[in-house]
Structure 1
Amino acid sequence: MHLSAIWLITLLSAVIVHAKTHTFNFTAGWVTANPDGLNEKRMIGFNGEWPVPDIHVNKGDRVEVYLTNGIDEGIDTSLHFHGLFHNTSVGNQNQMDGPTMVTQCPILFGQTYLYNFTVDGQVGTYWYHAHSGAQYGDGMRGAFIIHDENEPFHYDKEMVIQLSDLYRQPYYEVNAAFLSRYNPTGAEPIPQNMLFNNTLNATLDFKPGETYLLRFINSGLFVSHYIALESHELTIVEVDGIYVKPNVTQLLYVATGQRVSVLVKAKETDPGRNFALMQIIDESMLDVTPPELVLNWTHQIAYSRNYPKPKPIDVGNLDDAAEEFYLSPLDGRELYDDYDLQIVLDVRMKNLGDGVKYAFFNNVTYVEPKVPTLTTVLTSGKLSTDPRIYGDNINAYVLGKNEIVEIVLNNYDPGKHPFHLHGHNFQVVQKSPGFHEDENYPEEDQDKMTVPYNESAPLMDFPQHPVVRDTVQLEANGHVVLRFKANNPGVWFFHCHVDWHLTQGLAAVFVEDPETLQAREELGDNYKQICSSCGIKNKGNAAGHSNDWFNLDGLTRQPLPLPGGFTAKGYVAFMACTLAALWGVYTISSYGLSETIQDDKQVFESLRKALNVEDTLT
């Protein structure tokens, strides 16, 4: 036998011997917990326990997750492994990605779905979470770490740290109040607290002379977090599973969905004290800051549990946080020098005729199709390359094989948006700063503050070695430009990872090289079974029709536009006038039928509460 053949067999044998299969049987269900130590709340745990476990595997390992929905009758679920490519060259991998009605049907109560994949070719920090509405905000989320025996840096110990926000009410109640005509301005729900590894007042134990790898994951629904360590430097070495050239900073910024790993060198000798680890909410993302909301928490780096807890520190100017745009991949991969396809997506928020404020790409707000888009791809034959069969309600784009795709995001909104791409990471080619609201502009003209991308006159030079990641922050009224290669055939979701914005419809679907996907993948029995249990067809276009693939009758679409002249402020005024009128009628009738004088304020407040709009006019 030829020497090279012997070497190849030996290498493959070594890989097979060292690769391991990790099998998990998870039943999701409610668990009573007290995450912040202040109030009990029902969280979604696995097998009666919360928090759900972090998953640690090695590069090349296989993962089998049997997920059974035991949450509640009427509540569906699914799992997404955030940042994993699910390379479709190795089998039915697109069906493992998780977003409901994109790559699978929802898992109904009592049903089980198997997520079965190999983590080959990727290493670093990822996480997994429910991908059905804003469900993971109630705790159905955990770290997913792929260890690499060839890591390009040394450390003595690693620590995985989830940053998240906490809402007292269950996610479905919060979301119902948010997507309501009684919230016409679209103000995002403000969390009641934030968490650090699913708790508060956390302690990280350090030993003198050791080096620590801290893996930060923002697994929250909404707010970004700043992180600072007193008297210790943070050396960024990985973002979103990509090793970067070491970058030393004093302050981190982690948006929802993002991961940032840093090396921290402990003091060489016992310092005789502990140090503050500051976690700070990005207050600029809040429409209103309630007086009871704690914006920064002080955790501690402890050299001894016997030392006093440290006092909070002033982290200085928050604008000094490390900027992701200026990081570079360690492997030196170069900028894709041109694109084959450019997709320009203008982000806007506006009210439709039902009074609810929705989120839009190019005036289309994402509305789920009648069958998962993956079903349509795999059952449509030669029509799979025709975007019409995917409907006009999901922002569907068909990508050609190995095309270099450029995504241009222009933010006609004063809010920040961390955008996440499934199935890929991307190069960040341009990223503008934020351009904030001007009080001189009326609300309906606020988008005039936006600075859209000008291809002929970019704001900054194109980087030769741009940062590569899978989640990027789009700044207020600014723009960002991304590039990736369409080399992973599949149906891939692209959406804002502020999950409230996703529920508002801020999403698109990339149907990538569908003909190759058809040759590689077919609908699995488990996939078809959970769809059948939902009454969802396993063949057809976006509306579920397979006799005429261009017939979209019955497709759910966004509500009709507002009547001319109506604005969010108009709805607020309308609500206020309605309340005032009802209050007047109530007061008159009360005065006429009672011998006692009514307390006007009490009556008005009672009426507001009865109408369940006590928080809508603030």
Structure 2
Amino acid sequence: MLQAFVLSAVLLAALKPVASAAAVFPPPAKHVTLNVGNAQLAPDGFSRSTVVVNGQYPGPPILVNKGDSLSVTVNNRLTDPTMRRSTSLDLDGLFSPTSELPDEGSPFVTQCPIGPGASYTYDHGAIDQAGTFWYHSQLSIQYIDGFRGPLIVYDPNDPLKSLYDVDDVNTIIQLGDWWHNTTLSPTMLPQYEATGIIPVSDSSTINGAARYNGGPAVPWSVVNVVKGKRYRLRLINESARNVVTFNVEGHSLNIIEADGEALVPHVVNALDMLAGQRYSVVLTANQPIANYWIQTPFVGGAPARNLNQNITLSRAILRYAGAPIADPTTPMDVGPFPESLVEAELRPLVPQAAPPADVNVTLDLEVIAGQAIWTVNGVSFLPPKTPTLMKVLEGASTAADFNATENTFVFPAHKTIQFTFPENDDDDAHPLHMHGQNFWLIKPNSTDVINTVDPIKRDTAAAGANGMILRFRTDKPGPFHFHCHIFWHYQAGLATVLLNDPAGTRAQVHPDAAWEGLCPAYNALPADEQ
């Protein structure tokens, strides 16, 4: 069942100004404690062991303001021997400004995992972003078992604040695929690797609640509104596979943010969201007082492979104050919806031309037929035993210094890199996700037009049948993961490492002693605890 949100962020200190014109004061600090453990939960009515944060699914929201210094302590309390017992944390979409780690939480890229019984603190530093983000385990497919939650960075000076009246914890909408099998990593992942057939989810949760065919009538999640008010809904697709269509019966949606980037307001009736993508939409409660369906039909494999799945059960309720406590009386609409989002029509609130490319790279995504082996330019990524960052700090500087299966691309500092993904005939639109920074999406999968004048920037976009072109800068030194956010594909090799400026990394990145201790501790664990 849906657990009540419990805020775990605690304001540590409010620093008082000192009478000195030369004084420089850090922003207030937020410290968050995430206790990662096992719990028996039933989000869709089927009880199973889960991997969750502070005993709940989804995890508690991390809520901070732009300018806050954020630190997150992960206490690994995992004990279930049928699952992975080590863990990690990815603050998805946040870019670390500290000199300790260029990117937090990428196992075997920037650090080793956190073993059972251990703790580790990510000192993120002052946040200079704002928008809708999330956190999850980056280890194997562990977040499918429940280790995922929202991370919202509010901007008190949001330039679009005049467009909405309400933006709080109650307007966060988390979408997530859900499996009944409790041995996803030890059994279903090897089955997928052997057959190439991704397991199909049993249900799809909205803020932690769902139903499945033949299951109990779990209460729908409810979003409460007051007629006449405007609500900023923060949508997060926390799925490991499913592409979700979001629609609210009888209401239009004004898109104002994608992946932490402010947009020129763009009105639609529905929008598709790939795994890992986030949007903010403004919904105006301007309809007659009643109950309305929040409709989230999804695509994620052949439903015939899992008879529990029923996309008409992927829904929630928008309830106006004064409406009866009852389900809407209309049938659910599973689309297609008119006036749905075309990603290529989005524009940044502050236009910025994409810089000319200094380096051009073509990336081909291919799968070996009948097997779960994905390749990028012919290489299937395998995580190394020694993290990329550790190798760089020890002197690695060229692609030849890494195993071929690490698929590491080395780029010089302060250059613009263009990635071109050719058209492919694969059925999946791969949500490619870049750690460490956003990229200019100069040709989305939804158009043949190349836009270098005012493209949007984001961190997750589709490489699919129509191809994609993106550009990014190498101004930030360090290794950064770039991978498919369908985590089944990620585990099957659809990933690379982008290493910017190895010499600059050694000069600027200085991990602490706690980081130094992670790999020896992890490597000393027995295999069943890793």
TM-score by structure 2 length? 0.87
Contact 1:367 1:393 in 2 (8 A): yes
AA aligned opposite 2:376: F
Deviation at 1:167, TM superposition (A): 0.4
Structure 1 residues 569-588: aligned runs within 5 Å: none
List aligned pairs for 1:290-301, cutoff 5 A: 290-296=306-312, 297-301=314-318
Query: For the residues of structure 2 that align with 1:80 and 1:484, how far apart are their CA atoms?
Result: 21
In 2, the alpha carbon distance for the partners of 1:39 and 1:9 equals: 61
Q: Give the match's secondary structure for 2:310.
A: coil
1:104 matched to 2:111: yes
**Among candidates 172, 181, 187, match of residue 197 of structure 2:** 187
Identify the residue that residue 334 of structure 1 maps to in structure 2. Answer: 353
1:109-120 equivalences in 2 (<5 Å): 109-120=116-127
Distance 1:12 1:478 in 2: 54
Deviation track 1:21-42 (CA, whole Å, cap 9, x = no partner) reads 1222333110111101x21011
Q: 1:412 offset after TM fit, Å?
A: 5.2
- Work out whether residues 444 and 468 of structure 2, in 8 Å CA contact, stay in contact via their aligned partners in 1: yes
Contact kept, 8 Å, 2:235 with 2:280, in 1: the verdict is yes
Q: Which protein shows a greater Rg?
A: 1
Indicate the RMSD between aligned Cα atoms, in angstroms: 2.3
Aligned: 1:470 with 2:459: yes
* Letter in structure 1 aligned against 2:223: L
Q: Distance in 2 between matches of 1:463 and 1:246?
A: 20
Instruction: Name the SS of the counterpart of 2:373 in structure 1.
Output: strand
Q: CA deviation at 1:174?
A: 5.1
Deviation of the 1:199 alpha carbon = 1.0
Which residue number corresponds to residue 13 of structure 2?
A: none
Could you say if the C-alpha distance between residues 422 and 319 of structure 1 is closer, same or farther in structure 2, counting changes exceeding 3 Å?
A: farther
Look up the match of 1:484. Answer: 472
Residue 370 (structure 1) aligned with residue 347 (structure 2): no
Match of 2:15 in 1: none
- For the Cα contact (< 8 Å) 2:201–2:306, is it kept in 1? no
Distance 2:118 2:280 in 1: 36
Please name the residue that 1:219 is paired with: 238
| Counterpart for residue 255 of structure 1 | 274
TM superposition shift of 1:11: 10
User: Displacement of 1:287 after TM fit?
Assistant: 7.6
In structure 1, how many angstroms separate the alpha carbons of the residues matched to 2:408 and 2:271? 35
The reply to whether residue 391 of structure 1 matches residue 403 of structure 2 is yes
Which of 400, 404, 426 is residue 412 of structure 2 equivalent to? 400
Aligned residue among 65, 77, 80 for 2:72 = 65
Q: Write the letter of the residue equivalent to 1:217.
A: I
Counterpart of 1:272 (choices 274, 282, 289) is 289
Look up the equivalent residue of 1:498 and give its one-letter code: I
Distance 1:534 1:335 in 2: 42
Distance 1:209 1:216, change over 3 A: same
User: Matched residues in 2 for 1:236 and 1:112: separation?
Assistant: 39
1:428 to 416, 427, 441: 441
SS at 1:157 equivalent: coil
Letter in 1 for 2:254: T
Counterparts of 2:22 and 2:484 in 1: how far apart (Å)?
Answer: 42
- Paired with 2:20 and 2:178, the residues of 1 have a C-alpha distance of 51
Q: Which one of the candidate residues 344, 359, 362 is aligned to 2:362? A: 344
CA deviation digits over 1:588-611, x for unaligned, max 9? xxxxxxxxxxxxxxxxxxxxxxxx
Using the alignment, how far apart are the partners of 2:148 and 2:492 within structure 1?
A: 21
Q: Is the 8 A contact 1:65 1:116 kept in 2?
A: yes
Structure 1 residue 67: Cα displacement: 1.1
Q: Check conservation: 2:477, 2:501, Cα contact below 8 A.
A: yes
1:21 alignment partner in structure 2: 29
Is this contact kept in 2: 1:165–1:193, CA < 8 A? Answer: yes
Task: Give the whole-Å Cα distance in 2 for the aligned partners of 1:431 and 1:461.
Answer: 8
Match for residue 418 of structure 1 among 431, 447, 454: 431
* Distance in 2 of aligned mates of 1:180 and 1:91: 37
2:457 is aligned with what amino acid?
V
Question: SS where residue 91 of structure 1 aligns?
Answer: coil
Q: Who is 1:209 aligned against? A: 228
* Distance (Å, rounded) in 1 between the aligned partners of 2:338 and 2:402: 42
Which one of 90, 99, 105 corresponds to residue 91 of structure 1? 99
With over 3 angstroms needed to count, the CA separation of the structure-2 counterparts of 1:365 and 1:33, relative to structure 1, is same
- Between Structure 1 and Structure 2, the one with more helix by share is 1
Q: Is the 8 A contact 2:303 2:309 kept in 1?
A: no
Question: Per-residue deviation at 1:103?
Answer: 0.4
Go from structure 1 to structure 2 and tell me whether the alpha carbon gap of 1:390 and 1:245 turns closer, same or farther (over 3 Å shift).
same
After TM superposition, the structure 1 stretch with the greater mean CA deviation from structure 2, 387-396 or 67-76, is 67-76
Q: Provide the residue aligned with 1:460 in structure 2.
A: 449
Structure 1, unaligned stretches of length 5 or more?
1-7, 434-457, 537-618
> Sequence identity, in percent?
28
Cα separation, 1, equivalents of 2:349 and 2:187: 42
Q: Measure how far apart 1:363 and its partner are.
A: 1.2
Structure 2 counterpart of 1:82, from 82, 86, 92 = 92
1:382-414 deviation per Cα after TM superposition (whole angstroms, max 9, x unaligned): xx3321112211211111111101111233533
Could you say if the C-alpha distance between residues 488 and 221 of structure 1 is closer, same or farther in structure 2, counting changes exceeding 3 Å?
A: same
Q: Residue 106 and residue 316 in structure 1: after superposition, are their counterparts in 2 closer, same or farther (change >3 A)?
A: closer
- 1:511 is aligned, of 477, 486, 499, to 499
How many Å separate the matches in 2 of 1:160 and 1:243? 17
1:32–1:41 Cα contact (<8 Å) kept: yes
How do 1:434-449 and structure 2 match up within 5 A? none
> Aligned letter for 2:319?
A
* 1:514 positional shift: 1.5
1:495 aligns with 2:476: no
* Alignment equivalent of 2:177, drawn from 165, 174, 197: 165
CA distances 1:96-147 after superposition (whole Å, capped 9, x unpaired):
5111100001111112111111243210111110010010111111111111
Structure 1 pair 12/503, CA: closer, same or farther in 2 (3 Å)? farther
The whole-number CA distance in structure 1 between the counterparts of 2:492 and 2:78 is 24
Report the residue type matching 1:430 in the other structure.
Answer: K
CA distance, structure 1, for counterparts of residue 254 and residue 354 of structure 2: 24
Deviation track 1:337-385 (CA, whole Å, cap 9, x = no partner) reads: x21111211001105xxx74301001110011120000011111xxx33
1:277 match: secondary structure: strand
Note the residue ranges of structure 2 that are not aligned, 5 or more in a row: 1-18, 211-219, 525-530
Letter in 1 for 2:472: F
How many residues are aligned here? Answer: 485
Contact persistence 2:115–2:522 (CA under 8 A): yes
Superimposed CA distance per residue, residues 149-185 of structure 1 (whole angstroms, 9 cap, x where no aligned partner): 111223222211110000011231454343343x2xx
Counterpart-to-counterpart distance in 1, 2:263 and 2:500: 28
Q: What TM-score comes out, normalization by structure 1 length?
A: 0.75
2:426 maps to a residue whose letter is: D
> What amino acid is aligned across from residue 331 of structure 1 in structure 2?
V
**Within 5 A, what are the aligned runs for 1:30-49?**
30-36=38-44, 38-49=45-56
The residue that corresponds to 2:153 in the other structure is: 146
